[in-house]
């Protein structure tokens, strides 16, 4: 018997159960063992049943469930109102008698035998609060002669597909016992090199799996339940290491494959390009630009993510890189998430670089070149240096003669999809991904293990810090006053609504554009425009342009403005129903204001108005008000919502971990990343055969399934 044998080779699994397990992705014994218990029950201390007058049943008066050995009497099924029934019995441990009740387990009435000892484990309560003692829904297990105690640390499982938890528990326990009987204590291939195991003091794989499924009596229940036991650490580390090795191998292959183009520039060219800017780069920009320049000079394609808050000057760096490409006779593409942003980029890049290169705008509604000529053919002929457009640019028909550099701007999902579509077209340009939504460092390491990350953590000089106030509906008038003051001094304002019109959400007291919008128009007494996702794009873009030009002073909007136009005069933002927004989203919205440096505009102010915040929303808003640091906010966001939510992992095709948890096991992840890059050189060693095999198959079950795999 081997752990990688089909699940049907384990005791108690016939063809029917085998099919049910397989339907849930459990085909081999290891797949079963990869289903870790959800939690553990401590049944190491046997208690006794309380007498009727006793305060508490357990000797030690320890809180929590009671474990007792007792015989059952009077087992019967009791029918209540409707079709609900319960099973009742009386438990007797020789000294005291206590009622027992089970809900939703009618079959127990048939199964339980009177007069024989059972091990019961469950909460002990007084009926109705002050009535007689009762054991409620305890687990119940017949005690056989061979294990008189039957206690210990008991794993509790979830269901696997349609197979109930109790069945899973039995299968797992039997499988572990049989494997050990058949093959000894080291019953599954150890693939983690001894060096790594020793370094991190991790148990062998067989030991770890044995320990999580049948913990030894001296194990710490707290560690087990928190998934911080040495056994859990071994599984998480192993999973991280394989994933990091996979990324490291991919990175290595990318290096070897090289890129088809070369840049013909030196430091002087970069200095000259920088000299075209009407300002001096910040220290942060200098540093990141240096990193980009190094990447471009290399033989392998660049894969770099630049993270920096809105307004930190990322796009400027992209522009310089495109100019350098043009100087090397290579084309570049700059992709923005919306048409409007693409147009805005086109306009500002033309202003900046127009005299030095040919720039074209390609969107679904426009095709224009800075010098007026035909666009498509000239891109294909290599006579346009920079093409600005939406993401569709690389997905659709635009053909480049010599695409050397692709820049993806404000890409929240980090270009995974774009990378794939470029690869499909057989293009290997240098890739620069820019995002203002910082991702926590832990995520950057795993998800972008093959991306190099640059961080712009410095704002251009002259920016005014944004003040943020969080208030309730009572603060509405004050908000109106503050906004009016800023409008009077030439500023512009956003009022953000959680809903377009009433309906379900409005019943919960959330303001909508349609219902509350008119009040704001009256109260602010300034030219207002409305944008939301249901307007035609053209109409939306027109309103935004008028807002940018100043003929509209207030934009009443939904979150469509989250990724939006750069309007330096915008100094005020009111966010209504702020309890409804996530931290990252709030931060992104706030980034729309305070982008100007004109002191006459006054201090930028963001007012978040929360109607009925939950305590969690309150915490969120507290963090929002206290910090404008995107990275702090991202970490907090991940703590509150979990990594999957942040990345929209499923859509983006990113790895998910089965054993490891990015927040909990952060230290293990960092270690695994470090170890992976060192292991790469030792991978071919004969001693690492097992690791290599493991890496090659990324065993389903013991390793996180690849995204797209329907396995749980
Ligand atoms: P991001 O793309 O990170 O949001 P941008 O590159 O669009 O930032 O820059 C925001 C604004 O700041 C632009 O108007 C840009 O011209 C200006 N800017 C960028 N870098 C500097 C700098 N070093 N000094 C002054 N202004 C800058
Ligand atoms: Mg930008």
Q: How far is CA 260 from CA 257, 292, 561, in A?
A: 9, 18, 39
CA–CA separation, 226 vs 411, rounded Å?
A: 35
pLDDT score for 505:
55
- pLDDT at residue 650 above 70? no
**Centre of ligand 1 from the C-alpha of residue 389, in Å:** 20
Q: Which atom of ligand 1 is nearest to the CA of 318?
A: 6
SS3 per residue for 274-324: HHCCCCCCCHHHHHHHHHHHHHHHCCCCCEEEEEECCCCCHHHHHHHHHHH
Question: Whose Cα sits closest to atom 4 in ligand 1?
Answer: 311
How remote is the CA of residue 279 from the centroid of ligand 2, in Å? 16
- HEC states along 396-417? CCCCCCCEEEEEECCCCCCCHH
- Residue 311's pLDDT is 79
Question: For residue 499, what is the DSSP state?
Answer: B
Place of tokens 């931060």: 587
pLDDT band of residue 465 (cuts 50, 70, 90) is confident
Strand 133-136 relative to strand 97-103: parallel, antiparallel, unpaired? parallel
Atom of ligand 1 nearest to the CA of 456: 3
**Rounded distance from Cα 312 to ligand 1 centre (Å):** 6
Residue 700 pLDDT level (bands cut at 50, 70, 90): very low
- The HSE-up count of residue 76 (CA atoms within 13 Å, CB side) is 7
Structure tokens at 194: 């001894």
Q: Pick the ligand that lies closest to the CA of residue 313.
A: 1
Distance 410 CA to ligand 1 centre (A): 14
Q: Ligand 1, atom 6: nearest CA belongs to which residue?
A: 313
pLDDT at 706 over 70: no
Query: Is 50 exceeded by the pLDDT of residue 708?
Result: no
Protein residue with its CA nearest to atom 9 in ligand 1: 313
Q: Give, for ligand 1, the residue of 275, 311, 344 to mutate: max count of ligand atoms closer than 8 Å to Cβ.
A: 311
Beta bridge partners of 431: 303, 406
Closest ligand to C-alpha of residue 306 is: 1
Kindly report the average pLDDT of the chain as a whole number: 84
pLDDT at 60: 39
Alpha carbon of 606 to ligand 1 centroid (Å) = 21
pLDDT at 363 over 80: yes
Nearest ligand to residue 281 Cα:
1
Mean pLDDT on 581-595: 86
Closest CA to 467 of 308, 603, 629: 603
593 CA to middle of ligand 1, Å? 14
Predicted pLDDT of residue 699: 34
The structure tokens listed for 65 are 């469930």
Closest CA to 233 of 687, 597, 666: 666
Looking at residue 165, the DSSP 8-state letter turns out to be H
Q: What are the φ and ψ backbone dihedral angles of 338, each rounded to 5 degrees?
A: -130, 160
Mean pLDDT over 636-651 rounds to 61
Q: Which of 16, 44, 37 is nearest to 211 (CA)?
A: 37
Task: Identify the pLDDT of residue 425.
Answer: 66
Confidence category of residue 698, pLDDT binned at 50, 70, 90: low
Q: Which atom of ligand 1 lies closest to the CA of 410?
A: 2
Q: How far is CA 265 from CA 270, 276, 433, in A?
A: 8, 16, 22
Alpha-helix runs per DSSP H in 457-605: 476-488, 504-507, 513-524, 537-549, 583-590
Which residues, chain by chain, have CB under 5 Å from ion ligand 2? 315
pLDDT exceeds 80 at position 654: no
| Alpha carbon separation from 155 to 35, 43, 139, 466 (Å, rounded) | 11, 10, 12, 51
For residues 412 and 591, what is the distance between their CA atoms, to the nearest angstrom? 15
Q: How far is the CA of 267 from the centre of ligand 2 (A)?
A: 25
Closest CA to 439 of 337, 306, 564: 306
Rounded to an integer, what distance in angstroms lies between the CA atom of residue 507 and that of residue 612?
Answer: 12
Contact 366, 296 (CB under 8 A): no
Compute, in angstroms, the gap from residue 313 CA to the centroid of ligand 2.
7
How far apart (Å, rounded) are the C-alpha atoms in residues 535 and 448?
36
Q: How far is the CA of 347 from the centre of ligand 2 (A)?
A: 13
> Rounded mean pLDDT of 530-535?
89
Buried/exposed 69-102: b ≥16 CB within 10 Å, e otherwise:
bbbbeebeeeeeeeeeebbbbebbbeebbbbbbb
Which of 212-221, 558-567, 666-675 has the weakest average pLDDT?
A: 558-567
Ligand 1, CB within 6 Å, residue ranges: 279-282, 285, 308, 310-316, 436, 460
**316-345: average pLDDT:** 90
Least confident range from 497-506, 626-635, 687-696: namely 497-506
Identify the band that residue 424 occupies on the pLDDT scale cut at 50, 70 and 90: low
531-546: average pLDDT: 88
Residues 616, 620, 626, 631: is their CA dihedral positive or negative? positive
Q: Across 65-200, where does the E strand assignment appear?
A: 66-79, 85-92, 97-103, 117-122, 124-126, 133-136, 139-142, 152-156
Q: Token match 């989203």: residue?
A: 585
> Using 50, 70 and 90 to split pLDDT, how confident is the model at 169?
very high
* Contact call for residues 186 and 179 (beta carbons, < 8 A): no
Of residues 537 and 221, more confidence is placed in: 221
Contact yes or no for 484/491 (Cβ under 8 A): no
Question: How far away, in angstroms, is 456 Cα from ligand 2 center?
Answer: 12
Expressed in angstroms, the distance from the first to the final Cα of the chain is: 25
Q: How far apart are the CA of 306 and the centre of ligand 2, in A?
A: 11
Domains of the chain (ranges; CATH) run 7-41+164-218 (no CATH), 42-156 (2.40.50.140), 267-456 (3.40.50.300), 467-627 (3.40.50.300)
Taking Cα atoms as reference points, which of 521, 237, 22, 57 lies closest to residue 6?
A: 22
- Residue 282 CA: which ligand is closest? 1
Q: Give residues with Cβ within 8 angstroms of 418, minimum separation 6.
A: 335, 391, 394, 395, 406, 408, 411, 431
Q: Which pLDDT score, from 0 to 100, does residue 148 have?
A: 45
Structure tokens belonging to residue 579: 């309890």
Please state the rounded mean pLDDT for residues 119-135: 86
pLDDT digit string, tens, across residues 397-408: 678 888 999 998
Give the mean model confidence (pLDDT) for residues 257-284: 88
- Decide if 593 contacts 604 (C-beta within 8 A): yes
Highest mean pLDDT among 113-117, 184-188, 209-213: 209-213
* Range of weakest confidence among 173-182, 637-646, 660-669: 637-646
| 377 contacts: CB under 8 Å, gap ≥ 6 | none
Provide the pLDDT for residue 171.
Answer: 94
Q: Whose CA is nearest to atom 15 of ligand 1?
A: 313
Query: What distances in angstroms separate CA 490 from CA 288, 487, 550, 570, 646, one per listed residue?
Result: 35, 5, 9, 9, 37
The bound ligand whose nearest atom lies closest to the alpha carbon of 336 is 2
| pLDDT tens-digit series, residues 605-624 | 999 999 888 888 898 899 99
CA distance 87 to 70: 17
* Residue located nearest, by CA, to atom 10 of ligand 1: 311
Which ligand 1 atom is the nearest neighbour of the CA of 282? 23
Distance 314 CA to ligand 2 centre (A): 6
Tokens at residue 690, please? 């097992």
Q: State which of 277, 306, 316, 412 you would mutate to test the pocket of ligand 1, scoring each by most atoms of that ligand within 8 A of its C-beta.
A: 316
Q: Any idea what the Cα angle at residue 69 is, between residues 67 and 71, rounded to 5°?
A: 135
DSSP-assigned beta bridge partners for residue 121: 67, 139
> In this predicted model, what pLDDT tens digit does every residue of 366-394 receive, in sequence order?
777 776 667 888 888 889 999 999 877 76
Q: Is the pLDDT of residue 451 over 80?
A: no
Q: Which two tokens stand for residue 157?
A: 């499982």
Listed range (174-183, 470-479, 495-504) with the worst mean pLDDT: 495-504
Top mutation candidate among 407, 460, 464, 588 for ligand 1, by most atoms within 8 Å of CB: 460
Closest ligand to the CA of 410: 2
Burial (Cβ within 10 Å: 0-12, 13-18, ≥19) of residue 431: buried
Contacts of 497 (CB under 8 A, 6+ apart): 511, 512, 513, 516, 517, 556, 557, 558, 576, 577
R_g of the chain computed on alpha carbons: 32
pLDDT of res. 655? 60
Q: Which ligand is nearest to the CA of 342?
A: 2
- From the list 417, 388, 408, the residue with the least C-alpha distance to 304 is 408
């Amino acid at each position: 018997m081997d752990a990688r044998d089909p699940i049907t080779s384990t005791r108690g699994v016939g063809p029917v159960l085998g099919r049910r397990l397989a339907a849930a992705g459990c085909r081999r014994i290891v797949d079963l063992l990869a289903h870790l218990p959800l939690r553990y029950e401590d049944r190491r201390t046997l208690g006794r049943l309380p007498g009727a007058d006793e305060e508490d049943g357990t000797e030690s008066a320890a809180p929590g469930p009671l474990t007792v050995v007792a015989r059952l009497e009077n087992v019967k099924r009791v029918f209540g109102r409707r079709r609900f029934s319960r099973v009742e019995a009386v438990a007797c441990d020789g000294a005291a008698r206590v009622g027992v009740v089970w809900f939703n387990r009618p079959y127990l009435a048939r199964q339980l035998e009177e007069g024989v000892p059972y091990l019961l484990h469950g909460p002990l309560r007084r009926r109705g609060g002050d009535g007689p003692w009762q054991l409620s829904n305890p687990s119940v297990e017949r005690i056989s002669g061979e294990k008189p105690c039957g206690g210990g640390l008991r794993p509790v499982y979830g269901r696997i597909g349609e197979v109930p938890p109790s069945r899973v528990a039995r299968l797992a326990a039997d499988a572990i016992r049989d494997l050990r009987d058949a093959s000894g204590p080291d019953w599954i291939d150890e693939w983690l090199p001894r060096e790594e195991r020793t370094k991190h003091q991790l148990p062998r794989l067989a030991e770890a799996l044995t320990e999580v499924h049948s913990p030894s009596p001296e194990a710490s229940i707290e560690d087990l339940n928190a998934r911080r036991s040495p056994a859990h650490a071994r599984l998480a580390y192993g999973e991280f290491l394989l994933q990091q090795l996979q990324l490291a191998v991919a990175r290595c292959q990318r290096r070897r494959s090289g890129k088809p183009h070369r840049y013909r520039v030196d430091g002087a060219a970069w200095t000259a390009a920088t000299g075209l800017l009407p300002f001096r780069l910040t220290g942060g920009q200098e540093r990141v630009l240096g990193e980009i320049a190094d990447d471009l000079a290399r033989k392998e394609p660049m894969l770099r993510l630049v993270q920096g808050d809105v307004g930190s000057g990322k796009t400027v760096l992209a522009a310089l890189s495109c100019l350098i490409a043009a100087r090397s006779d290579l084309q570049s593409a700059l992709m923005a998430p919306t048409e409007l942003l693409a147009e805005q980029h086109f306009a500002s890049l033309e202003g900046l670089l127009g005299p030095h290169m040919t720039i074209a705008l390609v969107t679904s509604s426009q095709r224009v070149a800075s010098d007026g000529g035909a666009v498509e053919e000239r891109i294909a002929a290599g006579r346009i240096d920079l093409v600005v457009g939406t993401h569709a640019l690389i997905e659709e028909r635009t053909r480049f003669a010599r695409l050397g550099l692709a820049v993806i701007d404000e890409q929240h999902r980090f270009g995974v999809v774009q990378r794939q579509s470029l690869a499909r077209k057989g293009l290997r340009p240098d890739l620069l991904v820019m995002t203002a939504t910082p991702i926590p460092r832990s995520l950057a390491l795993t998800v972008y293990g093959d991306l190099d990350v640059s961080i712009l953590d410095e704002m251009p000089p002259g920016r005014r810090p944004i003040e943020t106030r969080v208030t309730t509906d009572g603060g509405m008038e004050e908000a109106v006053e503050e906004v009016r003051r800023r409008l009077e001094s030439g500023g512009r304002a956003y009022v953000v609504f959680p809903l377009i019109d009433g309906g379900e959400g409005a019943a919960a007291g959330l303001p909508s554009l349609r219902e509350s919008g008119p009040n704001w128009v009256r109260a602010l007494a300034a030219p207002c425009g409305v944008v939301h996702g249901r307007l035609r794009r053209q109409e939306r873009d027109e309103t935004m342009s008028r807002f940018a030009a100043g003929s509209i002073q207030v934009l009443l909007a939904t979150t469509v403005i989250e990724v939006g136009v750069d309007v330096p005069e915008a100094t005020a933002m009111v966010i209504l129903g702020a309890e409804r927004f996530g931290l990252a989203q709030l931060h992104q919205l706030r980034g729309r204001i305070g982008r100007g440096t004109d002191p006459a505009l006054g201090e930028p102010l963001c007012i978040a108005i929360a109607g009925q915040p939950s305590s969690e929303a309150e915490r969120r808003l507290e963090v929002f008000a206290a910090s404008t640091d995107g990275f702090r906010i991202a970490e907090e966001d991940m703590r509150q919502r979990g990594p999957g939510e942040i990345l929209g992992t499923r859509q983006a095709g990113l790895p998910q971990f089965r054993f490891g948890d990015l927040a909990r096991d952060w230290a293990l992840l960092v270690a695994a990343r470090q170890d992976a890059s060192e292991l790469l050189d030792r991978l071919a060693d004969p001693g690492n055969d097992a690791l290599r095999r493991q890496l090659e198959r990324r065993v389903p079950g013991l390793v996180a399934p690849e995204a797209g795999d329907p396995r749980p």
